[in-house]
Every structure is written in structure tokens, then in C-alpha cells.
Structure 1
Amino acid sequence: MIKVLIVDDHAIVRRGLKQILADIPDMEVFGEAASGDEALRFIRDQGWNIMLLDIAMPGKNVMELIKLAKHQSPHLPILILSMYPEDQYAIRMLRAGADGYLTKESAPEQLVEAIRKVAKGGKYISPAMTEKLIAELNPNQEIPLHNTLTDREFQVFCGICAGKSITDLAQQMTLSIKTISTYRTRLMKKMNMSKNAEIIHYAFKNDLLK
């Protein structure tokens, strides 16, 4: 039996996932968490075969949450289930330590396949994403500007897109205001931008916001 932990702040999403998995004989939802902190408490208290994790959780940034979860339970498979486009976020999540990435628009059959593969120790991305990665191996392929950012710079980028101030981000990421400002300066330079409005416009244009 694959013991599933669902981590999503929307009750209706958790209910829908439970309904999908209720008909699968080798899977059962043994726990639900509505925040990253709650998920970490679940991980400490229970043994899970897989965690389904939403990318946009209240509190901790998802990349930080992945790293903390892997620190607490190194062998816990994590499957990201998100409304954000796979081609924009999947690789960054995998680099952070996730084992698979699936959009919430995917068919239930894909979800079941992904859970089984990741729970057995494999990695999962969609066939379409696999083809895109192969295409990007071409040295002449242009790399999107946001993919040149480090994880910390990308966290600041996402925070700015969400309308958070430097002070808000410093509190959320438990870093100094000066450090956050440095990350902002670096990402602005890498992306050839000078204003927050340019970052937000870029995010909308590249389908990075929902």
C-alpha cells in the first residue's frame, strides 16, 4: 500500500485528490496538511511512501520546504502537483530535491502513474517536458532569463511578483534586508531590469503567474 500525504492549502483540492485515489487499490491518503509547517510535523510523526506537494504554500517557500523535508526524511519521495506550467518550474523543483512534477490539469491517469513511479524511487516529468529538455540540450537554444537565476534569486523574484516587500521577504526567508536587497540587485542585473514592474510584466508574459 502506498501511503500518501497531501500538502495543499486548498481543501477542495485535497478532497478532489482523495476522491481520485480512493478508487486505486494500492494507494491510500493517510494524511493531509494545509501548510508547510504542518507538513513537516506530519513527516516527523509518520512514515510516508510519498508526499504530494503544492508549489504555492503559505509560509515557507516551496524550495525551502522541499529541502527541509528531505533533511528530515531523506528517502521521502516528493511529487510536486501544481497549477504552474511544467516547462517554467519543473527543473527548478527537481534541482531543489523534488522527485517529480505534474500540473493539476493533468489527467487522473497521469497522477496515478506519477505516484507509482516516484514512490518506487523514480523521477517523473511528462513526455512533453522530456522532449523540451532534449531540445534545450542544443547549445544554440536560448535560455529564458529567469532560468539564469539562483534558487535564492528566484525566490526573491517570485516574492516580488507576489507583491511582497523587501522586509516581507526578509522575514519569510529569515535573511537580512540587506541580503534580500543584494539578491534583488543581482536578479535585476541578470535580467537587465531596473524596476519591480518590469519583473511582474516579465512574469505575466512568460506565464509564471496564475
Structure 2
Amino acid sequence: MTAIRVLIGDDHRIVREGLKQVLADAPEVQVVAEAPDGEQVLAQVEALGGRHGLELVLLDVAMPGRDGIDVLQRLRKAHPTLPVLMLSTYPERQYAVRCIRMGAAGYLHKSADPDDMLAAVRKVASGGMYVTPATAEALASAVGRSDTRAGPEALSHREHQVYRLLTQGLTVTEIGAQLGLAPNTVSTYRARILEKTGTKNDVELAIYAERHARPAAL
């Protein structure tokens, strides 16, 4: 039986321990490394030799400093054959399309059933794509509006990072510290985000984000 060597990147220790417990049910899966932030994920991947030492990276979307989407971009450039399965507490409608467009091999909610988690790990490690019904629906919706991108999908990667933190209630200064940007730069991104979303302030932006996080009405 070929071992599936996995690196877990998540800033919450309890989540990493929970994932390791789930993966322990599959004898062929070996968690060979874990990291609490983006920089350490990148460093561990390099230390393990990329695809030579790993079959899969399980990567949280939202991490302090260099977030999961930024790490995904860097991994795709440095190790294009190394599969990355994104994990998040955010609904598929909000982040799955963006992650898959950037090269993720799948997107899975952290509350997923353990059997689904193991199925995703096995499929992605074998070179496949893991797409849940909710992700498939989000992808189909995105294709339908590909010529006229709207909503959060219209934002650039950096704008989307700032957008996510703004809607979590962080101040411009706090966002700058987390992303390594000057407050004035964050303010510029904030102005672009408000313009692209058609909102006037952070309150309207939070309402906008809530609306776009909900499933479309049937």
C-alpha cells in the first residue's frame, strides 16, 4: 500500500489535532508535518522536498500573515505537481471558485463528514479533483457569469484579502499589520473594494458580504 504523506497547515492546534485523528483512521495516510501559519507551510514543503516528500497539502484558507490563498499561489508556482486541498469554515459559495481557479485540487468545509474528508484526501493525492455538490454548483454559477464577473469574484487577490478582513471587523491598521501593508495602502484597497461592490462604508460592506455568502434563492 502506497503511503499518502500529508502536511497540514492550519493556525488552530485543535483543528490540526482533529484532522490528524480523522486521518489516522486510514492506515495509508501519514501526517508527516504540520504548520500553524503560511510561512511555515512554505518552509516545511521546501524542507520535505516538495512533491518528492509529500503527496498532499491540507491547507486552511484563513491563516494569520500569509493566508492560505497566498500560500496556494506560491505552492503552485514552486511545486506545480503538488496537490493542495483547501479547508475552510467559509461556505463553498464564498471561496471555492477562487481557490480552484488558483489551482487547488479541491475545497472542503472543515465540518465535512470524516468519510468525506478521507475520500477527498485519497482522490486528491491520486491526482484527481475533489468537488462537493455545493462546490460544483458554485463553479457552474461562476461559469454562467464568467463574462461579467460580479460580487466578491470581481476583486483581485489582494483586494479579496482586505475584503475578508474588513468584513471580520478589523480596522485598517490591524489589516495592515496582518498583511504587512502600510495603512494608507490598505485604505486604497478599501476604497477600490467599496467602489467595486457598490457599498459606501464598512457596515454596508458587511451586509453585502453576508448576502453573497448565502446560497442563491431557489
Secondary structure at the counterpart of residue 181 of structure 1: helix
Given candidates 22, 27, 30, the residue that maps to 2:29 is: 27
Q: Name structure 1 gaps, 5 residues minimum.
A: none
Q: Is 2:151–2:212's contact at 8 Å kept on the other side of the alignment?
A: no
Amino acid at match of 2:154: T
CA distance in 1, matches of 2:168, 2:139: 28
Secondary structure at the counterpart of residue 205 of structure 2: helix
Q: In the alignment, which residue of structure 2 is the partner of 1:161?
A: 167
Q: 2:78 aligned with 1:72, yes or no?
A: yes
Secondary structure at the counterpart of residue 95 of structure 2: helix
Q: What are the superposed Cα offsets for residues 160-193 of structure 1, whole Å, 9 maximum, x if unpaired?
A: 1233333443444344544433322222111111
Q: TM-score, normalised by structure 2?
A: 0.83
RMSD of the alignment, in Å? 2.5
The aligned runs of 1:4-153 (5 Å cut-off) are: 4-46=6-48, 47-138=53-144, 145-153=151-159
CA distance in 2, matches of 1:63, 1:34: 15
Given candidates 192, 196, 202, the residue that maps to 1:196 is: 202
From the superposition, tell whether residues 8 and 136 of structure 1 become closer, same or farther in structure 2 (CA, over 3 Å): closer
Q: Is 2:93–2:213's contact at 8 Å kept on the other side of the alignment?
A: no
Identity across the alignment (%): 40
Q: Is 2:4–2:28's contact at 8 Å kept on the other side of the alignment?
A: yes
**Displacement of 1:20 after TM fit?**
1.4
Amino acid at match of 1:78: V
Q: Is 2:123–2:130's contact at 8 Å kept on the other side of the alignment?
A: yes
Q: TM-score, normalised by structure 1?
A: 0.86
**Displacement of 1:95 after TM fit?**
2.1
**Displacement of 1:137 after TM fit?**
4.0
Secondary structure at the counterpart of residue 8 of structure 2: strand
Query: What is the number of residues matched between the two proteins?
Result: 208
Q: Is 1:10–1:34's contact at 8 Å kept on the other side of the alignment?
A: yes
CA distance in 2, matches of 1:132, 1:71: 25
**Displacement of 1:131 after TM fit?**
3.6
Deviates more, 1:63-72 or 1:5-14: 63-72
Secondary structure at the counterpart of residue 117 of structure 1: helix
Secondary structure at the counterpart of residue 108 of structure 2: strand
Secondary structure at the counterpart of residue 128 of structure 2: coil
Q: Name structure 2 gaps, 5 residues minimum.
A: none
